Amino acid sequence: MPPRRRPNAFEVTYPGEVQDESGSGTDGGNNRRRQRDGAEHYHDSCAKRRKTNERPRAPRYYRPENNELLETEDLIVIGEDPGALDDGQKPTRILHDFAFFDPTRDLVMVSLSYFDEHRGNNDHMFEGAGEVTSVPENDEDEGQEDDLEDDEPQLIRIKNILGYSIDYTEDEE
């Protein structure tokens, strides 16, 4: 006579949830899953969500502003030291609300991942536009650019972007 099968903790705690072993057609010891309410609805909604995310999105296009400044070697942003440019130093600037786009394709906006994928490809040329502020050299100078009469942000357009970097560090205050 085989040893008697003892109930496990789930079967003792939820006696109504346990399916009859003889009617399942499979080994009752391995098939003890609890039926969830609305489980079919959950899987259907996930499938629908997956399908809608797979649709290609309509491309977004950049609309140039009238007061954009074209970045050149001589461009001095408000708050920058003009003498530093004479010493051959490159300016460090903070960019806000920036958009990258491809001027060869009717200014269609591109993501940074797309930019990375096509960086070495000579068929694509990327530009960017957005607000720019200067990085103050001394902590004492920080905040003085807020006192300027010009409340309009400086908009800049950068041509032929070759690369980018993102600095996630924050200034300690």
> What pLDDT, in 10s, does the model give residues 53-90?
566 676 788 888 889 999 988 888 888 877 776 777 77
Position 113 scores a pLDDT of: 86
Position 18 scores a pLDDT of: 72
Q: Do 83 and 113 reside in the same domain of the chain?
A: yes
Task: Evaluate whether 126 touches 157 at the Cβ level (below 8 Å).
Answer: no
| 170 within a domain of the structure (yes/no) | no
Q: Do 79 and 102 reside in the same domain of the chain?
A: yes
| 140 within a domain of the structure (yes/no) | yes
pLDDT band at 156 (very low <50, low <70, confident <90, very high): very high
Secondary structure class of 96 (helix, strand, coil): strand
How many residues can be counted in the chain? 173
Q: Do 78 and 144 reside in the same domain of the chain?
A: yes
Specify burial of residue 93 (Cβ count, 10 A radius: 0-12, 13-18, 19+).
middle
| 149 within a domain of the structure (yes/no) | yes
End-to-end CA distance of the chain: 78
What is the number of domains present in the chain? 2
Say what the pTM is. 0.55
* Domain enclosing residue 137, as ranges: 68-158
Residue 141, pLDDT above cutoff 60: no
Higher pLDDT, 163 or 133: 133
In sequence order, the β-bridge partners of residue 70 are 157
| 122 within a domain of the structure (yes/no) | yes
Q: Per residue in 55-76, is it b (16+ CB within 10 Å) or e — as a string?
A: eeeeeeebeeeeeeeebeeeee
Q: Do 81 and 154 reside in the same domain of the chain?
A: yes
Residue 165, pLDDT above cutoff 70: yes
Cα 169 to its chain centre, rounded Å, is: 17
| 1 within a domain of the structure (yes/no) | no
| 62 within a domain of the structure (yes/no) | no
| 60 within a domain of the structure (yes/no) | no
Q: Do 29 and 72 reside in the same domain of the chain?
A: no
CA distances from 111 to 11, 47, 99 (A): 53, 26, 9
Among 19-33, 65-79, 121-135, the range scoring the smallest mean pLDDT is 19-33
pLDDT band at 155 (very low <50, low <70, confident <90, very high): very high
Q: Do 91 and 135 reside in the same domain of the chain?
A: yes
| 87 within a domain of the structure (yes/no) | yes
